[in-house]
Structures are given as C-alpha cells and as structure tokens.
Chains A and B, each alone.
Chain A
Amino acid sequence: MRNIAEIYKRELRFYFSTPVAYSVMFIFAAIFGFLFYRNLTYYSNLSYQLMQNPYYAQRIDLIMGVFSPVFSSNSIILLMMIPPISMRLFAEEKKSGTIELLFTYPIKDFQIVIGKWLSAVTVIFCMLVLTLPAPFMAFGFAKNAEWGPVLAGYLGLFLMCLSFLSLGLLISALSENQIVSISVSYGALLGFWFLGWAVDPNSGKMIGKVLGELSIIGHMTNLIKGIIDTKDIVYYVLFIFTTVFLTLRVLESKRWRG
C-alpha cells in the first residue's frame, strides 16, 4: 500500500509540477465551457419557440436538450485529451532510463502500475470536476433540478476516460517513444470508436452487434441520457481491468526478453 502511495505521489507531483496537467485541464475546461455555452443558448432560444406549442412545451428537457449533446461532443474532445496524459506513463521512464533503477527497488510491478494509473486517474478526475460549474449554472435557471441523470452522464464520461487512459497505459508500456505512444493511442482509441460504425447494428447481423458492443463510446450513449445500465458499467470495468492486466503482462515479458 505504501509503495503504491509513494509512486502515486511522485507521479502526481510530476503532473502538477510541470505544465502537463494544467495545460490539458485548461484546454479541456475551455472547450467544455464553449460547447456548453453554445448548446445552452441554442436550447434556450429553441425552448421559447417550443413553449408556443403545448405538446412540445412538456418535452423541454435540459438533459436531452443540453447535457446529453454536450457530453456526447466532449467524448471526442476527451479522446484527444487523455493520450497526452497517458503517453508518458511508461514510455518516458523507458526512454530516460529511470526504469532501470525503478525495477531494482523492492516494489512489485503491480504497485508501480497501480500507482501510475491512479495518478493519471486523479488528473482526469480534476479535469471533470472543473466542468461542474456548468450544471450548477444550468440548474440555477431550472425550477426542478434533476441531478441524477447529470451525475450518470458524468459517471459515463469518467468511466470512458478511464478506459482511454488504461488503453493508453498499455500502449505506453509497449513503446519507449512518446510520439509513437501517443499516435498509437489515438489510432487504437479511434479504432475502438469506429468499431461501432463498422457494421450497422440494426442490420440484424451478429457481427454488427458484437462490434457495436465493443465500441468504447457506444457504451456511453445510455449513461449520458441518464440511464444506468449494468451492461455498460460492466463493459467499462472489464475493459479497464483487461488493459491494466495486459500492461502488467507486457512489463513482465519485456523483462524476460531483456
């Protein structure tokens, strides 16, 4: 436990003593803010018109009208923001050679991996926390605020980010070049995203369903609508667990091969 905490503290100190965490957090907050502002003003204009029609007036909904589209567009932004956080985790240590000493200390591999992973998780957590003023502002205008669906959306974003991160961690362990690490991460993440489009899931073919279910972003669509489905949570947990586990295996096999 202590070893994990020490690795975690060191990695976190790196993120926050260099511009890495700040730049990613700032850029993301700015983009999120812009997208939120655009969606909110658009929807508020739209809602004036909708109010004229009694049928539509009942259907004005901040979640479907604002948060769901904002979260959805931000999933793509996050896909771009997470690899810069994850790319260095192992690649940098391998390139600079610090891994040589790290591997000769009495620490288990999983403690290194978990410590590093948790530090990046913390950065991502801070990133998402920075966007919380958005729902507070939105609900400031609403009479009956419904926090549940928004929190479900945040849970979805968070789990999706952790999946991006874990895949990035695995790729970082495979490469000692940070440029390669980040490019391959983008490739892999986009690949997992496009999986959902590969075959039309409604065509009735099995392959379309299977590939659709493998898509990282696909599993967020329910969560950002405020629907928590065990299937989606299980997908993310399994995805994170598998990639972190593979990272451990990669480190081990690299050692044996020298």
Chain B
Amino acid sequence: MIKIDRVTKMYGQTVAVRNVSFEVEKGEILGFLGPNGAGKTTMMRIITGFFPPTDGDTFVEGHSVLTEPLEVKKRIGYVPENPSMYTDMRVYEYLRFIGAVKGVPRSKVKESVEKTVEQCALEKVTKRRIGELSKGFRQRVALGQALVNDPPVLVLDEPTSGLDPKQIHEIRGLIKSMAGERTIILSTHILPEVSMTCSKVVIINEGQILAVDSTENIGRNLAQSHQIEMVVEGPPDRIVDRLTQIEGIKRVDNRGSTYIVDLEKEKDLRALIAKKIVENGFGLLEMKSRSMSLEDVFLRLVTEEEGGNS
C-alpha cells in the first residue's frame, strides 16, 4: 500500500532523515514514534508530497511521489501538526473548497461534505469561521479536510497534541473507527497512544529508523533481556557478587536494597535466584518480574543510540 524506499532528506548540510525504508500494508495503523526533532514531520511531509526527498522515493498504491505526485496526493488525506487553515472561511465553505480542489466530482461535492461533517461531528459549527473555533473543533475540521475526498490513506502528524483529555479520547476513537478501511500513518511522541491505537510501530531517532515491528512484538523482540526487580535485605556487595555467579544473569543493578537483575532472553530463573538468596542467608522481601514496556524499549533504543554516537 505504502512503500518508503531508502528516503534521505537534507536541509542544506543538515541531514533530517537518513536512508529510511519501511512498508505499510492496507488497513494498518502505523505509529511513527520518536522524540521531538527525530524527523517525523519531515517523513510525513515527504510521504504527502509537500516536498520531495533528497534521495530515495515513496510509493502509494504503486504511484511514485516523484514521478506522479498528483496521483499520490489524490490518495492521501493529511493533517499536519497545528494545522493551519484559511481562518477567514466558514467550515462548510472551506470543506466544499477542499473537496473541489481534491477532485471530488462536482455533483458529489455536497454529498461528501455533508458526510464529512457528520463523520467529524461538525454539525454545530458549519456556519462558523474557522478562526473562531476552539482547538478541538479546529482539529476536527482539519481531520474533515483530510477525509473529504474519502482517501484510502491518512497521514496524521501528532493528531492529539494540544487537546484536552476528552478531546484526545474522541480523536483516538475516530482514528480507531477508521482502521481496516483506511491505511493510517500517525506520528506521535506519546507512547501510550501508540500501544492504544496502532498495529505497527516505527521508532525513529535522529533521522534513522531504530525499529519496525508490530506493537505486540516490539516490546518482546527488542527487549534484549527480561528483568527482575527484587528487594533484598543484606550487604549489597555480597548479594551482587552471589547473584552474578548464577548462570543466565547478565547484569545486576543495585539501588539501595532494590536490585534490578537483567536476565538472558527466554529464561525464567526466579525460583533459582530465590533459592540462592535464601541459601546465603539474605532476606528476600520482594520479587517481581518486569517486562519492558514500550516506554522502556523506546528510551533504551533512543539513549543507546545517543550513547553510540558520542
């Protein structure tokens, strides 16, 4: 459906995105995850044809953004971060204008605008000027202009930024309701958003892709190790020393009487560890296994990357 093929984008001498490739299947919701300044918006602007990549190409339904930009643009609805619309126009008039510009047949413009108004719950504000609307309504109008020509692909740049919790909930609901029929790429730096709405994740930092996987797999596969968190009573030096002797334990972190133990993949050593601790006469107060959340994975990937560069 969407194919990103070795895309690089330079702003002068600065590299914004470097050699990025990934694919999105029909009906998937892809979460584009990265810290601010990672190159998310640049990627979205390339996919939507706002500007061309310096190198590489992107395809939507087999149409190249470089050679057939109009075909690509017809198939994409784009909601930029902080979408700017013509504030002097009224909502209905604006959607009609966008529908016409996006090539909705003359006879169907009215129908598709009305459908969009209903879909985005804009009935109350159709006659208001966009400049007078609240942030939440404005976001919905922005979503409306993306949907008005019923495109198979939606590209949403931080669709929930700056909204209140209720509005965030509504927008997420709207996005989820479109899953399956539309292919959606959404960027965010809010991690729960990805696990809540997306089926696939691309993690990007400093213009490079760190990981591409399904939301369920990403935590499992990327976590280099499983972790156990324990609270143990006893002299820390000796406890760390004893623990590291156990085969299958990679690393032991000690903060006060709390110990974080990194285990090798796919091994459950909890019983063995508990036995060792008790045998050595330490007091085992608490033990729980920690699976890495998306946040851990993200932080680990991003910080590792930074560590590697310096």
Residues of A participating in the B interface, judged by any CB pair closer than 8 Å: 2-3, 6-7, 9-10, 13-14, 17-18, 96-98, 100-101, 103-108, 255-258
Listed A/B pairs (24) with beta-carbon separation below 8 Å: A6-B97, A6-B100, A10-B86, A10-B89, A96-B84, A97-B80, A97-B82, A97-B84, A98-B84, A98-B85, A100-B50, A100-B84, A101-B78, A101-B83, A103-B49, A104-B50, A104-B73, A106-B70, A106-B101, A106-B102, A107-B101, A255-B50, A255-B52, A258-B42
Query: Are A106's CB and B88's CB within 8 A?
Result: no
User: What does the 1/0 interface line of B36-62 toward A look like (CB < 8 Å)?
Assistant: 000000100100111110000000000
| Interface flag for B205 (CB, 8 Å) | no
Nearest B-chain residue to A98, judged by Cβ: B84
Query: What are the 8 A-B residue pairs with the smallest beta carbon separation, nearest first?
Result: A97-B84, A106-B73, A104-B48, A106-B74, A106-B70, A255-B51, A98-B84, A104-B78
Q: How far is the CA of A17 from the CA of B131 in the complex (A)?
A: 14
Q: How far is the CA of A229 from the CA of B85 in the complex (A)?
A: 46
Query: Are B101's CB and A3's CB within 8 A?
Result: yes
Q: How far is the CA of A129 from the CA of B28 in the complex (A)?
A: 57
User: What does the 1/0 interface line of B60-90 toward A look like (CB < 8 Å)?
Assistant: 0000000000110110101010111111110
Query: Are A6's CB and B50's CB within 8 A?
Result: no
Say whether, besides A104-B78, A106-B103, A107-B101, A98 and B70 are in contact (CB < 8 Å). Answer: no
Nearest B-chain residue to A3, judged by Cβ: B101
> A101-B85, A104-B78, A106-B103 known; 13 other A-B pairs, CB under 8 Å?
A6-B97, A6-B100, A6-B101, A18-B88, A97-B84, A98-B85, A101-B80, A103-B49, A104-B50, A104-B73, A105-B98, A105-B102, A257-B11
Q: How far is the CA of A105 from the CA of B103 in the complex (A)?
A: 9
Q: Which of B48, B51, B71, B82 contacts A256 (CB 8 A)?
A: B51
| Interface flag for B200 (CB, 8 Å) | no
Shortest beta-carbon distance, B156 to chain A, in Å?
13
Chain B count of residues within 8 A CB distance of the other chain: 35
| Interface flag for B226 (CB, 8 Å) | no
Query: Are A101's CB and B103's CB within 8 A?
Result: no
| Interface flag for B145 (CB, 8 Å) | yes
Which residues of the other chain, B, contact A105 by a CB distance below 8 angstroms?
A: 73, 98, 101-102
| Interface flag for B12 (CB, 8 Å) | yes
Q: How far is the CA of A104 from the CA of B84 in the complex (A)?
A: 13
Which residues of the other chain, A, contact B42 by a CB distance below 8 angstroms?
A: 258
| Interface flag for B9 (CB, 8 Å) | yes
Nearest B-chain residue to A10, judged by Cβ: B97
Which residues of the other chain, B, contact A14 by a CB distance below 8 angstroms?
A: 86, 88
Q: Which of A6, A17, A258 contacts B9 (CB 8 A)?
A: A258
Which residues of the other chain, B, contact A17 by a CB distance below 8 angstroms?
A: 88
Q: How far is the CA of A256 from the CA of B100 in the complex (A)?
A: 27
Which residues of the other chain, A, contact B10 by a CB distance below 8 angstroms?
A: 258
User: What does the 1/0 interface line of B7-37 toward A look like (CB < 8 Å)?
Assistant: 0011110001000000000000000000000
Shortest beta-carbon distance, B49 to chain A, in Å?
6
Nearest B-chain residue to A105, judged by Cβ: B101
Q: How far is the CA of A80 from the CA of B98 in the complex (A)?
A: 34
Shortest beta-carbon distance, A94 to chain B, in Å?
10
Nearest A-chain residue to B129, judged by Cβ: A17
Which residues of the other chain, B, contact A96 by a CB distance below 8 angstroms?
A: 84, 87
Which residues of the other chain, A, contact B45 by a CB distance below 8 angstroms?
A: 100
Which residues of the other chain, A, contact B89 by a CB distance below 8 angstroms?
A: 10, 13
Which residues of the other chain, A, contact B84 by a CB distance below 8 angstroms?
A: 96-98, 100-101
Which residues of the other chain, A, contact B98 by a CB distance below 8 angstroms?
A: 105
Most chain A CB within 10 A, of B73, B80, B84, is at: B84
Nearest A-chain residue to B79, judged by Cβ: A101
Which residues of the other chain, B, contact A2 by a CB distance below 8 angstroms?
A: 100, 106
Q: How far is the CA of A48 from the CA of B169 in the complex (A)?
A: 83
Which residues of the other chain, B, contact A104 by a CB distance below 8 angstroms?
A: 48-50, 73, 76, 78
Shortest beta-carbon distance, B232 to chain A, in Å?
55
Query: Are A98's CB and B86's CB within 8 A?
Result: yes
Q: How far is the CA of A17 from the CA of B71 in the complex (A)?
A: 33
Q: How far is the CA of A151 from the CA of B11 in the complex (A)?
A: 51
Which residues of the other chain, A, contact B85 by a CB distance below 8 angstroms?
A: 98, 101
Q: How far is the CA of A3 from the CA of B73 in the complex (A)?
A: 14
Say whether, besides A6-B101, A106-B102, A257 and B12 are in contact (CB < 8 Å). Answer: yes
Q: How far is the CA of A20 from the CA of B87 in the complex (A)?
A: 15
Q: How far is the CA of A17 from the CA of B86 in the complex (A)?
A: 12
Nearest B-chain residue to A95, judged by Cβ: B84
Most chain A CB within 10 A, of B10, B74, B85, B86, is at: B86
Q: How far is the CA of A107 from the CA of B74 in the complex (A)?
A: 9
Q: How far is the CA of A100 from the CA of B82 in the complex (A)?
A: 11
Most chain B CB within 10 A, of A9, A101, A255, is at: A101
Which residues of the other chain, B, contact A98 by a CB distance below 8 angstroms?
A: 84-86
Q: How far is the CA of A14 from the CA of B88 in the complex (A)?
A: 7
Which residues of the other chain, B, contact A9 by a CB distance below 8 angstroms?
A: 97
